[in-house]
Structure 1
Amino acid sequence: MLKLNVPDMTCGHCASTVTKVVKSVDAGAEVTIDLPAQTVTIASAADAAKITAAMDAAGYPAKAA
């Protein structure tokens, strides 16, 4: 389980994009978004570094929450 703080995630479109980015790394990932807290919780077998790198590339830098 990976929990990330994503301060640039401010709206529903952002949340949708973050979900798509995570699923591009691991299509089977379970993604839970908490928009008011600007956090995303990810259950995935993929390497956390790959997920955060993909999020950075998409314009949503993330840090461990």
Structure 2
Amino acid sequence: MKLKVSGMTCGGCAKSVTRAVEALPSVERALVDLKAGEVTVEGAADERAVRQAIEDAGFEVRGAA
């Protein structure tokens, strides 16, 4: 799944999103594209759980990319 994420302004933000998403048990890997403002999630993750993890990390999910 690929989601648009707003609020990421630096590499630290990208790392925060990556860590938050990869902490979910069904996520194999999260790839953040800082310039595009997107995160690609590999694995059988529930979209609602991924969205919640990103929002709990302080960022906003803008929808599917």
The TM-score range, normalised by the shorter chain, is 0.7 to 0.9
Q: Which runs of 5+ in 2 are unaligned?
A: none
Normalising by structure 2, we get a TM-score of 0.85
Structure 1 or 2: larger strand share?
2
Normalising by structure 1, we get a TM-score of 0.85
One-letter amino acid of the counterpart of residue 8, structure 1: G
Q: Which runs of 5+ in 1 are unaligned?
A: none
* CA separation of 1:48 and 1:28: change in aligned 2, threshold 3 A: closer
Determine the structure 2 residue equivalent to 1:33: 32
Determine the structure 2 residue equivalent to 1:21: 20
Determine what percentage of the aligned residue pairs are the same residue.
39
Contact between 1:26 and 1:44, CA under 8 Å: does it hold in 2?
no
TM superposition shift of 1:44? 1.8
Q: Kindly report the root-mean-square deviation, in angstroms, between the aligned alpha carbons of the 2 structures.
A: 1.5
Per the alignment, in what secondary structure is the counterpart of residue 6 of structure 1? strand
**Count of aligned positions:** 64
